[in-house]
Chain A
Amino acid sequence: MTTVSTYRPRTRRNVELALLLLAVAIVVLAYVNVELSVSGDFPPGLVGQTIGLLAISLAFHGLLRWRASYADPLLLPIVTLLNGLGLVMIHRLDIAKGRGISDGLALKQLTWSALAVAIAAVVLFLLRDHRILRRYTFISAVVAFVLLVVPLVPGIGRSVNGSRIWIGLGPFTFQPGEIAKIALAVFFAGYLVQTRDALSLAGRKVLGMTLPRGRDLGPILVAWVLSLLVLVFEKDLGSSLLLFGLFVSMLYVATERISWIAIGLTLFCGGAYLAFLLFGHVQSRVHLWLDPFAPGQSDQLAKGLMGMAAGGLLGTGLGRGRPDLTYFAESDFIVPSFGEELGLVGLFALLVLYVLLVERGMRTALGVRDGFGKLLASGLAFAVALQCFVVVGGVTRVIPLTGLTMPFLSYGGSSLLANWSLVALLLRISDHARRPVDEQPAGPSSTGQAHTEVVVLR
């Protein structure tokens, strides 16, 4: 005897609410911790600030209940926690550097955070179905290209920390590469979903690997040249690695062919070595990486390493270390700041939060039914992972130091805007992935693409 029972997937919104309250509690605790160890007193506006933080996060949570009730329940609490801890650390560095509340970086970061959450809410509200983005595949390509190139335009582009990946408009500076990351992921996803058959099936077998046809190599070569241009002209290894790594990983997901990764790695290594031979700024970065204490060069990496060493296993405690002695302690070097005050234990916790965030993105990619959604979700998630790797790997000497920011933690408006929007997209896709088929909104195209994808997979 079989009984037919209808299994309805649960929305898990209450789990999200509980985790969200926990995240806010941790942030408030960290904030109180900083104030207690610096001034010995509770922060004066604690109740108001807590209510403000709660209001923002609960508003977003409410929007999810209303507009994306099946969205992944872990994403929002994780990014709220990361964003909040970043704020606490920036506030803590404000205190150490004698900046008041009104002229401090923390207030600016808080303003940017609110704006970023608002924009993410708008994205989530307006974009009812991620598949709509597929229509904008080539517009995304143009947008991404413009965003990548605009820092090179004289008068607008700015060099910060040796990398020309900033633009300045009046009093505002902006890192357009952060937004380009999303546009690129949309473009790659849309492009690869169309061309994947040609890229994955044609070719001949060499040494157990199916090598693509010569004419199919075009796209990867274009991406390679573009990433090398970024490396050479914007002097930024991080953006370059991010751009190319994103393309190669999405190409692999689309085609399931290892050969693309082999070709990609070979191209990247060759390009990087060529750049090392040809350009002084690449060489100096490599030398700094190999020996951060050699005299006569920047000591920024050394300062960060000493900060982390001061933290040891358990850290000095929030507000009790000297992260202000490290350059860019609130942006590129915010990870050593956490390592110093929260210790290796705290740093591990932060890294695990990022792993969770990324793997939830990957889980979304597994669950969603359309190819475009799979590619976009895995691409966005991998971009976050790669960016974390480039930033943390840079300050812990896994790879040469670059000029990227740590998503959600680092000070910087562009980074916050881009990453909150990225999470909004992931939330939208995950809502789609977990929503029962009978509740699905009608697809944007009448061809029923989602359905065919499932058939192709099995």
Chain B
Amino acid sequence: MNAPIRRLSAVVALLFCALLVSSTTIQVVQAKSLQDRPDNRRTLLDSYARERGQILVGGTPVAKSVPTKDELKWLRTYPQGELYSHVTGYYSFTYGAGGGLEGADNDLLSGSSDTLFYRRVSDILTGKTPSGASLELTINPAAQKAADQALGDQRGAVVALDPKTGDILALVSHPAYDPSLLSGHDTKKVQSAWTRLNADKGRPLIDRAIGGDLYPPGSTFKLVTAAAALESGKFTEESQVPGPATLDLPQTTVNLPNDDHLPCGPGNKTSLTHALQVSCNTAFGWLGMRLGADALRSQAAKFGVGDKLEIPMSVTPSRVPAELNEPQTAQAAIGQYDVRMTPLQVAMISAAIANNGVVMQPRLVKRVLSSDLEVINQPDPVELSQAVSPDTSAALTRMMETVVTSGTGTAAQIPGVDVAGKTGTAQHGKGLAPHAWFTAFAPAQDAKVAVAVVVEDGGRLGNEAFGGKVAAPIAKSVMQAVLGS
């Protein structure tokens, strides 16, 4: 019986070899992919094991981790709650990190970023408890508060930029939410908050300033059309253009009327400056057809439309439709038809005009700091493109000033400061109150701030709303907050 016993021993060896192979496959070959699975609780717990970096605004943390006694060791808190909800986003054990910097800069905050590699090694060598990097933001706390208060309970978004650097000074989207609801460690409560926030018709989890469904920019797009006209060399700010009460559109029975159904000037003619000042639809519709869809599209692209920006959250690219026939071009020239923009993009247009035509890359993070507040990274401002010549930007500035001094945007006047602005009232469907827009910068000659405001469905005024009435006062208080601080 010894021969079969020996063979049986060999079978045993084979069986165990199979086990060695299978366990090697799992623990070495597949280990990385298993650990990267989103449902892997161990990986998640691991990220809680070290202190996550803070998010700082003006030296004050708006997101920080505090030690707890439960198994997660650290609880993420948001001292100012709703005010910064779309800036910080949320860091949830149950739903992961998202909604803002928590998601976009997760690897820096958690300390797992490759750029922190040498610091991690030195932490291990010196025996320091490893922790994530902190982010110091470009946000101006006064501007953020002013934007939040002025927008109030209306749905919409406010973006304020420093035209010279691209620093984002305010980023507000309403309705907001309290990220602490999602960062708690009571899974049941977090789940019910998550369900409630997702079911909310106001969709508070969406950052309307940089994402969401995008808005038709309405008359604020006339800035792009005016820029294209001036850049073409065929027009100056004094050029006379047709401005009838109604523009007859070719190839269609639908015509393009002015909002007040009156001509924009005597003899159905108007200067380009006056056309912008009173937001003359027919004049800009005519200009659009005259310049052509390609000119509009390329001018928009120079302002950043179509770019995939990361601030570091990814921004939904704004768009001008690729195929436009003549009547559609006329509609697009006044920001209707299928032109869609984020409030950030509209703010970038104003900021470029304020900054001699140069578009700066918008950014939210000024500096990356180590846990002992040593600077790890301090990126320089980045120029994206030259959207218009300095001459054109000066002309556009003068034109936009008339909008605020005696045009549709008088509500944005600030005593002692020259403000340049443009209103917008965007139709977005039959029977729906229009979105109210306002974009501006101030002071006109040496701008410290550029701002874009959108209030959905006319806000409190509904069908009575015009950008000048609803959105301009919000822009004004944000600009005042920046200039006053």
User: Which A residues fall within an 8 A CB radius of B?
Assistant: 249, 252-254, 256, 293, 299, 302, 305-313, 321-322, 325, 339, 343-344, 347-348, 351, 354-355, 358-359, 362, 365-366, 371, 374-375, 378, 381-382, 385-386, 388-389, 392-393, 396-398, 457
- How far apart are A188's CB and chain B's nearest CB, in angstroms? 13
Q: A312-B28, A365-B5, A385-B15 are in contact. List 6 more A-B contacts (CB 8 A).
A: A308-B31, A309-B34, A339-B26, A355-B12, A396-B25, A457-B2
- How far apart are A399's CB and chain B's nearest CB, in angstroms? 9
- Let me know if B37 is at the binding interface, CB within 8 A: yes
Residues of A within 8 A of B20 (CB): 348, 351
Q: Which label, helix, strand, loop or mixed, suits the secondary structure of the A interface?
A: helix
The answer to whether A325 and B23 touch (CB under 8 A), given A293-B37, A366-B5, A374-B5, is: no
* Interface-located stretch among B38-46, B121-129, B271-279, B328-336: B38-46
- How far apart are A435's CB and chain B's nearest CB, in angstroms? 19
18 intermolecular pairs with C-beta atoms under 8 Å apart: A252-B8, A293-B37, A306-B37, A308-B23, A308-B27, A309-B30, A311-B27, A322-B42, A325-B41, A339-B26, A344-B24, A348-B23, A358-B9, A378-B8, A381-B12, A386-B15, A396-B26, A457-B2
- How far apart are B425's CB and chain A's nearest CB, in angstroms? 48
CA A355 – CA B19 in complex, angstroms?
A: 11
CA A391 – CA B350 in complex, angstroms?
A: 68
The answer to whether A306 and B35 touch (CB under 8 A), given A311-B27, A339-B23, is: yes
- Let me know if B67 is at the binding interface, CB within 8 A: no
Contact B19 A398 (CB under 8 A): yes
- How far apart are B461's CB and chain A's nearest CB, in angstroms? 48
Contact indicator per residue, chain B 66-90, by CB within 8 Å of chain A (1) or not (0): 0000000000000000000000000
CA A344 – CA B29 in complex, angstroms?
A: 11
Residues of A within 8 A of B3 (CB): 256
Contact B15 A389 (CB under 8 A): yes
Contact B1 A375 (CB under 8 A): yes
CA A321 – CA B46 in complex, angstroms?
A: 10
Q: Restricting to B8-63, which residues have a CB under 8 Å from any CB of A?
A: 8-9, 11-13, 15-16, 18-20, 22-28, 30-32, 34-35, 37, 39-43, 45
Contact A312 B27 (CB under 8 A): yes
Contact A309 B4 (CB under 8 A): no
- How far apart are B31's CB and chain A's nearest CB, in angstroms? 4
The answer to whether A382 and B45 touch (CB under 8 A), given A393-B22, A457-B2, is: no
- How far apart are A337's CB and chain B's nearest CB, in angstroms? 12
Residues of B within 8 A of A307 (CB): 42
Contact B12 A344 (CB under 8 A): no
Contact B23 A374 (CB under 8 A): no
- Let me know if B6 is at the binding interface, CB within 8 A: yes
- How far apart are B48's CB and chain A's nearest CB, in angstroms? 11
CA A311 – CA B45 in complex, angstroms?
A: 14
CA A397 – CA B34 in complex, angstroms?
A: 14
Contact A253 B4 (CB under 8 A): yes
For A362, give its contact among B12, B16, B30, B37 (CB under 8 Å): B12
CA A107 – CA B27 in complex, angstroms?
A: 31
Residues of A within 8 A of B31 (CB): 308-309, 312
Residues of B within 8 A of A375 (CB): 1
Contact B40 A252 (CB under 8 A): no
- How far apart are A365's CB and chain B's nearest CB, in angstroms? 5
Contact A306 B40 (CB under 8 A): yes
Contact B19 A253 (CB under 8 A): no
Contact A308 B26 (CB under 8 A): yes
Residues of B within 8 A of A358 (CB): 9, 12
Residues of A within 8 A of B18 (CB): 389, 393, 398
Contact B23 A347 (CB under 8 A): yes
Residues of A within 8 A of B28 (CB): 312-313, 344
Contact A457 B1 (CB under 8 A): yes
Contact A359 B9 (CB under 8 A): yes
Residues of B within 8 A of A396 (CB): 19, 22-23, 25-26
Nearest B-chain residue to A359, judged by Cβ: B9
Residue of B9, B15, B26, B40 ringed by the most chain A CB atoms within 10 A: B26
Contact B35 A359 (CB under 8 A): no
For B13, give its contact among A253, A256, A312, A355 (CB under 8 Å): A355
CA A457 – CA B5 in complex, angstroms?
A: 13
Nearest B-chain residue to A393, judged by Cβ: B19
CA A359 – CA B28 in complex, angstroms?
A: 28
Residues of A within 8 A of B2 (CB): 366, 374, 457
CA A392 – CA B273 in complex, angstroms?
A: 81
CA A321 – CA B35 in complex, angstroms?
A: 13
Contact A355 B16 (CB under 8 A): yes
The answer to whether A371 and B27 touch (CB under 8 A), given A306-B34, A309-B35, A359-B12, is: no
Residues of B within 8 A of A359 (CB): 9, 12-13
CA A389 – CA B6 in complex, angstroms?
A: 19
Nearest B-chain residue to A303, judged by Cβ: B41
CA A398 – CA B3 in complex, angstroms?
A: 28
CA A397 – CA B18 in complex, angstroms?
A: 10
Residues of B within 8 A of A382 (CB): 8, 12
Residue of A308, A313, A358, A371 ringed by the most chain B CB atoms within 10 A: A308
CA A396 – CA B25 in complex, angstroms?
A: 9
CA A256 – CA B2 in complex, angstroms?
A: 9
Contact B8 A313 (CB under 8 A): no
CA A354 – CA B12 in complex, angstroms?
A: 10
Nearest B-chain residue to A249, judged by Cβ: B8
- How far apart are B18's CB and chain A's nearest CB, in angstroms? 6
CA A305 – CA B42 in complex, angstroms?
A: 11
CA A321 – CA B49 in complex, angstroms?
A: 12
Nearest A-chain residue to B46, judged by Cβ: A310
CA A313 – CA B30 in complex, angstroms?
A: 12
Residue of B3, B16, B19, B28 ringed by the most chain A CB atoms within 10 A: B19
CA A339 – CA B32 in complex, angstroms?
A: 15
Contact A374 B1 (CB under 8 A): yes
Residues of B within 8 A of A385 (CB): 12, 15-16
- How far apart are B74's CB and chain A's nearest CB, in angstroms? 16
For B35, give its contact among A293, A310, A343, A398 (CB under 8 Å): A310
CA A179 – CA B40 in complex, angstroms?
A: 38
- How far apart are B72's CB and chain A's nearest CB, in angstroms? 12
CA A119 – CA B480 in complex, angstroms?
A: 88
Contact B23 A354 (CB under 8 A): no
Nearest B-chain residue to A304, judged by Cβ: B26
6 closest residue pairs by CB, A with B: A309-B34, A396-B22, A309-B31, A344-B27, A362-B9, A385-B12
CA A308 – CA B30 in complex, angstroms?
A: 10
Nearest B-chain residue to A254, judged by Cβ: B1
- How far apart are B68's CB and chain A's nearest CB, in angstroms? 16
The answer to whether A351 and B19 touch (CB under 8 A), given A254-B1, A366-B6, A371-B1, is: yes
For B4, give its contact among A252, A311, A312, A313 (CB under 8 Å): A252
Residues of A within 8 A of B43 (CB): 310
Residue of A302, A339, A398 ringed by the most chain B CB atoms within 10 A: A398
CA A24 – CA B35 in complex, angstroms?
A: 35
The answer to whether A253 and B1 touch (CB under 8 A), given A348-B20, A362-B8, A393-B19, is: yes
Contact B27 A309 (CB under 8 A): yes
CA A374 – CA B3 in complex, angstroms?
A: 12
Residue of A309, A343, A388 ringed by the most chain B CB atoms within 10 A: A309
Nearest B-chain residue to A396, judged by Cβ: B22
Nearest B-chain residue to A367, judged by Cβ: B2
- How far apart are A129's CB and chain B's nearest CB, in angstroms? 19
Residue of B16, B18, B23, B37 ringed by the most chain A CB atoms within 10 A: B23
CA A323 – CA B342 in complex, angstroms?
A: 47
Residues of B within 8 A of A351 (CB): 16, 19-20, 23
Contact A397 B42 (CB under 8 A): no
Contact B24 A253 (CB under 8 A): no
Residues of B within 8 A of A389 (CB): 15-16, 18-19
Nearest A-chain residue to B19, judged by Cβ: A392
Contact A305 B26 (CB under 8 A): yes
